[in-house]
């Protein structure tokens, strides 16, 4: 299980009265959706194999860089 966040949905529980009249429906759908996903995952459990190796990945790194000649801030891919 993992967690994520959103900058475009209401808080599911923030202690404040929501201004959106659909808030109660959103909150109920969120709760039911989470429970349904957990039930579905549990029903589909199966044995798994696991292994590991070592390596390097630069997929999610800060790609901002200083251009060596202009000293301007650029995307690392462009420098």
CB 76 within 8 A of CB 64: yes
Q: Who has greater pLDDT, 14 or 52?
A: 52
pLDDT in tens, 32-66: 998 999 999 999 999 999 999 998 876 666 667 78
Instruction: Examine the pLDDT at 2 and tell me if it is beyond 90.
Output: no
pLDDT in tens, 15-28: 666 567 777 788 88
Question: What pLDDT shows up at residue 59?
Answer: 67
Domain boundaries along the sequence of the chain: 1-51
Query: Is pTM, for the whole model, over 0.95?
Result: no
């Amino acid at each position: 299980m993992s967690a994520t966040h959103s900058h475009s949905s209401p808080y599911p529980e923030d202690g404040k009265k929501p201004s959106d009249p659909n808030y109660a429906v959103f909150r109920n759908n969120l709760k039911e959706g989470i429970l349904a996903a957990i039930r579905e995952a549990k029903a589909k459990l199966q044995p798994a194999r696991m292994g590991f190796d070592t390596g390097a990945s630069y997929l999610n790194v800060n790609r901002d860089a200083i251009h060596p000649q202009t000293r301007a801030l650029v995307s690392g891919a462009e420098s």
